[in-house]
Amino acid sequence: MNPAQGKVWLVGAGPGDPGLLTIRGKECLEHADVVIYDSLANEALLDYAPTAEHIFAGKATDKHMLLQDEINRVMREQASQGKRVVRLKGGDPFVFGRGGEEALVLADAGIAFEIVPGITAGIAGPAYAGIPVTHRGLATCYTLITGHDAEALETDDEDLSQLLLRGTLVFYMGVRNLPRIAAQLVALGRPDTTPAAIVQWGTDPKQRTAVGTLADIAERAHDECIQPPAIIVVGEVVSLHDTLSWFESRPLFGKRIVVTRARSQASDLVRHLQELGADVFEFPTIAIEPPENPEPFDPVNTYDWIVLTSVNAVEMLFERMDNLGQDARDLAGVRLCVIGSATSEAVRRRFLRVDLMPEKYVAEYLMAALLAQEPDLAGKRFLLPRADIARSFLPEELRKHGADVTEVVAYRTVVPRTPDSLAERLATYRPDLVTFTSSSTARNFYEMLGAERIARLKQTAKFGAIGPITAKTAGSLGMPVTIEPDTHDIPNFVRAIVDGLGREATEAGR
Ligand code: SAH
């Protein structure tokens, strides 16, 4: 092998859910110069390789053979230029994925390669449909079969026939041939009462499952309009689906929800909604930027307290200190008051302890907690780095108690420069719900989408707001809010969304 040559990693992307990529697969993507991906690999995984060149290898069409030659050529060429090439393939690269052929091409050309297995759709699809592919007492063996060539099943081969009569059978690429596959299994002697299922887009929010028996599964799949990609599962294990179906039965399964928070703040809400099964579309309506003219403040060690109300404020403080040649040691003796657990975490990551963290960001709580530690605020020096649109009750309260308060704008919130194509994609996404977590998210959303697109959204979407002020802003812009929690925080907002949108709510409303 020539060391100046590059190398190819044949990486399994997993079946669809981006969380099912392996850690090794993620590492390979992070170090790739080029990623050649096919249509079954989730495009979200390309985010792990933001600076790499992304080459789409296309769909499996009738011109597959030609396409495959082309893929092989690109792989060889890129590697010969000394690049690190990731060939990202849906599921596992060696399970019906032509990964073996691609590895042979590389071996033949003397190009170094590694194989990174992935979770194959034939295991993950059934798992997400609540079907274990083996189960004590129900199936002791499990067979992966291509359903592409139905004639291959119409065989005199005794060994294959014996295999088809046992345990769990999983067919890949079999949607079109499902009627023939089911009939042939019955003809071979598998009872027509054998449970069977078909799982479309397994592990993805688009997942759908049709269940029946060999006698009627083809009809059920047809009625449910099941389309490729789908996995067919045949065997007694399918009977466990009714009890074990966990993915499709989550309360927000398949609901399309738009999250408009700034990306840096959205993760909590997004994670909660996804865990409940929602298909989340992130459309950040707020971007954080440094102030245009940073205001000066005194050396940090001249303050008695620094009050940090957001992660952004923490970051800004340290950046400014760094620019002045200061570091954490200059904070010796300065007490830190933080608002919110994420802010506290950001402070602790810098190996600093938090002196005060009031339970709620409400004037009375904060002042009471502060006064408990610092009964006499007269002449005490406070530094408050905050957003340009921050509420002003805190400096006012502190000043009332005689404190000397310095406020500096730590960051500005602006309308992000989002490509119009994303706004258009959102308008055609047919969401069930658009969520607003502050008045600015509602205002900016309106500005970014425009009245015409919002009118289109309203055909399918409800609107949700975290609290009454936000709801009022959204309402005044023609986006009437019908989902709003009693207590204005993320966990309660999520609960209100489940109540207003969840399966039971939808069914009751029918
Ligand atoms: N290497 C892939 C399989 C590629 S063959 C793997 O290991 O999963 C393509 C076939 O895989 C499709 O026709 C379909 O049968 C199956 N498949 C791939 N992804 C799927 C998914 N998310 N849900 C259901 N079936 C899927």
List pLDDT tens digits, range 61-97.
544 555 788 899 999 999 999 999 999 999 999 999 8
Mean pLDDT of the chain: 91
Distance (angstroms) between ligand 1 centre and the Cα of 115 equals 18
Distance (angstroms) between ligand 1 centre and the Cα of 137 equals 27
Q: Comparing C-alpha atoms, which of 237, 138, 132 is closest to residue 195?
A: 237
64-80 vs 99-109: helix crossing angle, rounded to 10: 40
Measured from the Cα of 93, ligand 1's closest atom is: 1
Mutate to test the pocket of ligand 1, among 178, 203, 231 (most ligand atoms within 8 A of CB): 231
Measured from the Cα of 147, ligand 1's closest atom is: 15
Distance (angstroms) between ligand 1 centre and the Cα of 265 equals 35
For atom 5 of ligand 1, the residue with the nearest CA is: 96
Mean per-residue pLDDT, 212-235: 97
Distance (angstroms) between ligand 1 centre and the Cα of 229 equals 6
Distance (angstroms) between ligand 1 centre and the Cα of 165 equals 23
- CA–CA distance, 162 with 156 (Å, rounded to integer): 11
Q: Which of 226-240, 299-313, 320-334 holds the top average pLDDT? A: 226-240
- CA–CA distance, 228 with 176 (Å, rounded to integer): 8
Domains of the chain by range and CATH?
Answer: 7-119 (3.40.1010.10), 123-248 (3.30.950.10), 256-286+417-508 (3.40.50.10090), 295-413 (3.40.50.10090)
Ranges assigned E (strand) in 255-326: 256-259, 279-282, 287-289, 305-308
User: Residue 45 in contact with residue 13, Cβ under 8 Å?
Assistant: yes
Q: Is the pTM of this model over 0.85?
A: no
10 Å Cβ neighbour count for 492?
15
For atom 11 of ligand 1, the residue with the nearest CA is: 172
Pocket lined around ligand 1, Cβ cut-off 6 Å: 15-16, 40, 89-92, 95-97, 120-121, 125, 172-173, 199, 201-204, 228-231
Report how far Cα 43 is from the mean position of its chain's Cα atoms. 11
Percent of the chain with pLDDT over 70: 94
For residue 510, the model assigns a pLDDT of 45
For residue 362, the model assigns a pLDDT of 67
Sign for the CA dihedral angle at 28, 30, 34, 35 comes to positive
User: Residue 394 in contact with residue 307, Cβ under 8 Å?
Assistant: yes
319-374 pLDDT tens trace: 989 988 999 999 999 999 998 888 899 999 999 999 999 877 666 778 889 999 99
User: Residue 148 in contact with residue 174, Cβ under 8 Å?
Assistant: yes
Measured from the Cα of 171, ligand 1's closest atom is: 15
Measured from the Cα of 199, ligand 1's closest atom is: 24
Q: What's the DSSP call for residue 91? A: B
Q: Buried b vs exposed e over 364-398: b needs ≥16 C-beta within 10 Å?
A: eebbebbeeebeebeebebbbbbbeebeeebbebb
Distance (angstroms) between ligand 1 centre and the Cα of 195 equals 21
Mean per-residue pLDDT, 453-466: 95
Burial tier of 285 (Cβ tally within 10 Å: 0-12, 13-18, 19+):
buried
Mutate to test the pocket of ligand 1, among 10, 22, 40, 92 (most ligand atoms within 8 A of CB): 40
> For residue 114, what is the enclosing H or E element?
strand 112-116
Q: What's the DSSP call for residue 483? A: E
Percent of the chain with pLDDT over 90: 70
What residues act catalytically? Answer: 38, 59, 173
- Which of 248-252, 271-275, 485-489 has the lowest average pLDDT? 485-489
Mutate to test the pocket of ligand 1, among 22, 38, 59, 96 (most ligand atoms within 8 A of CB): 96
